Structure 1
Amino acid sequence: MAIIKPFNGLRPKEDLAAKVAARPYDVLSSEEAKAAAAGNPYSFYHVSKSEIDLPEGTDTHSQPVYDKAAENLRRFVDEGTLFLDPQAAYYIYKLVMNERAQTGLVCVSAISDYNNGIIKKHEFTRPDKELDRINHIKTTKAQTGNVFLAYNDVPEVNALIDQWQENNQPVYDFTAEDGIQHTIWVVNTPSAIESITSLFAEKVPATYIADGHHRAASASLVQAALSKEGKITSVENPANYFLTTIFPASQLAILDYNRVVKDLNGLSKEELLSRLDYDFTVEDVGHLPQQPAMLHEFSMYLEGRWYRLVAKEGTYTTDPIGILDVTILSNNILDKILGIKDQRTDKRIDFVGGIRGLGELVKRVDSGEMKVAFAMYPVTIQQLFDIADSGEVMPPKSTWFEPKLRDGLITHII
């Protein structure tokens, strides 16, 4: 069963929360972070993307970047921008996007649960990205990036969280520049803390990583390194836990994660359409963008026109991985026709989160940067759970969760 704990969160003064809050470090470039932080000395990008405070051209994975992050985090504390809660607490984090709300519990989860498979994964991680977060955690002595977890709904947990929101005032409530509302409550009474901890220990057999595989893996590797060095002498050491926010599955929405490809692997437009006809029914639907409306349906944008592709029977299997649209696309188009064997390393392919819309696909192709784009129907949360339960992993860039948690609102000091 899931082991979670309250913790002393490092968080901003109430009047600075909106200025501190920053999008996750891995969803924007250094240039975008620098522009977003311009004129805002409180922005958490000074910690999560600290290269913005160093000379242009600085290697973003070099030690000076991590040292600058630690320096800026200390400055935020010294100046009073951030403070450490005097007692351990849970935190309720509600996000509202386009009138749809999702509410999660901010806590620390046991790294032993991650290592033992109680916290389930659905993606491989890359050593270079792990090393980046390892260095950031070890240098700052903090977990600044939140791992987004999901669990099958427990009515008693949902009811307790709803009741706390109704009976208590939030410590933060603001709408960010992208229109997403962020509201946070502190749960600090002993009875509520004990109830939440017990409910997860009794009724939540597993949690699932929705977003943040590299952050979770890095926290585990840091804990292992510190333990080997003899720096962890108690099971209560904060490094034995990592920062998570856990959401009930019923409240979550997964967006599509689409692909753009630089060339047609030597094929003409006509040859590509002919090859596609073996495994898909192909329909020219004109110049207007068309979002896929069901599983196994794809939209392709090529030379100014959209095509509807529907996978024929026999092009996929019914196992948890084989039935995924990302698998169908990967096996029957990207690999079989376009010669892209490894989407993690092939420089001919790029990925576009569904939050950017189909217009971004058109832009990338019409600019000449890319030759063809593919839009997919989103993976369902149940598909994600089924794959994680089976011990399998999804193809890369299969899911895009939105809205995303903001960095800087709650940090875990280790």
Structure 2
Amino acid sequence: MYKPLELFIGLRYTGAKRRNRFVSFISLISMAGIALGVMALITVLSVMNGFERELRERILGMVAHASIQGASEPLSDWRDLREQVLDHPRVEGAAPFVSGEVMVTRGGEVSGAMIRGILPEHEATVSRVLDNVQGDAAERLESGEYRIILGSALARMLNARVGDRITVVTPEARATVAGIVPRVRRFEVAGTFHVGMYEYDRGLALMHLDDAAAIMRLDEGITGLRLEFDDMMAAPWLARELALTLDGRYSVRDWTREHANFFRAVQTEKTVMFVILTLIITVAAFNIVSTLVMVVNEKRSDIAILRTLGASPGSIMRIFMIQGAIIGIFGTLLGTVAGIALALNVETLVPAIESMLGQQFLPADVYYISDLPSDLQMRDVLRISGVALVLSLVATLYPAWRASRTEPAEALRYE
């Protein structure tokens, strides 16, 4: 079968048994280093993607894709507005809400909290919070009954159980004959919810929309509408499009604006981790330089003979570039296969290791997410493999150029 001369000789040099075993050892170390770096980078980025996905899903279980609020006052015409918004083909759900900061007390325990007034029949269309409510507490949220559902950590802090009474104190004071006193209302604890994020489990309480509007003195108004689109990643431009259809009378905010700093921090961490682990591949790739320099010194007489037979400097350069590229290609392939296999099975391997060692790496009482999720994305695999191959090819340039500069007379003088 026909083979180009450079490819034929490059393959022969790679597969031949060298007199210098140290050169072969360095070649294996270079290949193993590239494979290890690629495997580590694919696995780490997949785990970070998994954490980002889990956090995004948990956050969006509590935060809608977008919200509509009045420019400077509560929404009083929210029913007509809701019908108008639901006419948009990309809007799948719209639920009214009332929010505000309050202080909750029970016995000697006091804590600040954010209340959210909801209509249970509509809330399920925009969030998953009711899926995390224990028992039938959601059905017990009825207008005028003044029942409340506490986050699990908030309930523990207040030492409150189902059926207990807690006091909700709003920041708005009222004037009485006794002076200025805060507005106070007693609520019955209907249940608790747990979403696995301390921010919400510790600082959020749910109640019926009418009860929340009453204690916040909104009369018939509400704070706004929470929306769900058919694609959460399209929320930024769908929110802008929706704002234009509403003639700019309302403020429309999407979830990326409300949590922009958080997701920007996650993206920055992924970028930094990519750069750091790429250095492992870089070190391993540049071991190819040492390997090829030693091979060039060992093959000086062969290079001289090839030159006298008519091989051009370019042909000599390509021979050694092919030899170095083979090391990089095999190392990258091994690392890619190992990285994909590890990323796809990390959710199974980590619990097995925890069981074997008798220790949990991510305790549930410390971390938001107690397991190790993984989300393998092919664009990351292609990007990592491409970087490894490019670094391997770059590492071959200097030794190959040095080989092409070999003078036949000098090389053969003492042969």
Would the TM-score normalized by the shorter structure come out above 0.5? no
Q: Which has the higher helix share?
A: 2
Under a length normalisation based on structure 1, what TM-score does the superposition of the two structures give? 0.19
Of structures 1 and 2, the one with the larger relative CO (CA 8 A, separation 6+) is 2
